[in-house]
Amino acid sequence: MEYSGWDPKFGLDDQIPFIAESIFIYNTLFWLFIPLPLYCMPNTDRARKELMVFGQAMIVVHLVSCVVFIVSPAEVYLRDVAIQDMANRPGLLSEMYELLWILDKPYNAWPSLHVSIATMMTLFAIRCWKGRPVLQWGIGLMCVLMCLSIMTTKQHFAWDLITGWILVAGVWFLQIRPSLDNLEEAAISG
């Protein structure tokens, strides 16, 4: 893809520094957030039903995101700063960025799926970890750090972060919350 429909860059994007080490936090999407239900979900019928609700919501998040990627593509052209910095830093970090840039082309910027997926999984974990505030705050903090890392790795614009959170809020209030309310009513009427 060599077409960009518009430029979502804010002045803030140039103010956010490239922090090479933040790639470790950026990659938590794959080893922490995506498998998070395996760590936090209790082995109950109710939890499995809630997981199905969140799974359906993840499908909606992906479908909406893919439509936006096609209808309004935006190129992430912030990588030049990262590419210049990493050219002078051989080693593991440089290799990690090289692999990232091969696998993740600089399009499909907004809404950020990193933000949407991590936030959805965090909301699920917080529900599962009721009464366990240390775990709830811990995963919440990790989610915020991962969401910020999309900008410190120069993989996304601030707009992508904002729209990722807006998408999750929309799916939460229009799909997840009503579905969870229905599960609660079914459990009560039993």
Residue with tokens 């938590």: 28
CA distance 126 to 46: 15
pLDDT tens digits for range 34-88: 999 988 999 999 999 999 999 999 999 999 999 999 998 888 888 888 998 898 8
Q: How confident is the model at residue 3 (pLDDT cuts 50, 70, 90)?
A: low
Nearest by Cα to 58 from 178, 187, 180, 167: 167
pLDDT tens digits for range 100-141: 999 888 887 899 999 999 999 999 999 999 999 999 999 999
pTM: 0.92
CA 171 to chain centre: 14
Residue with tokens 């518009």: 6
Cβ atoms < 10 Å from Cβ of 121: 23
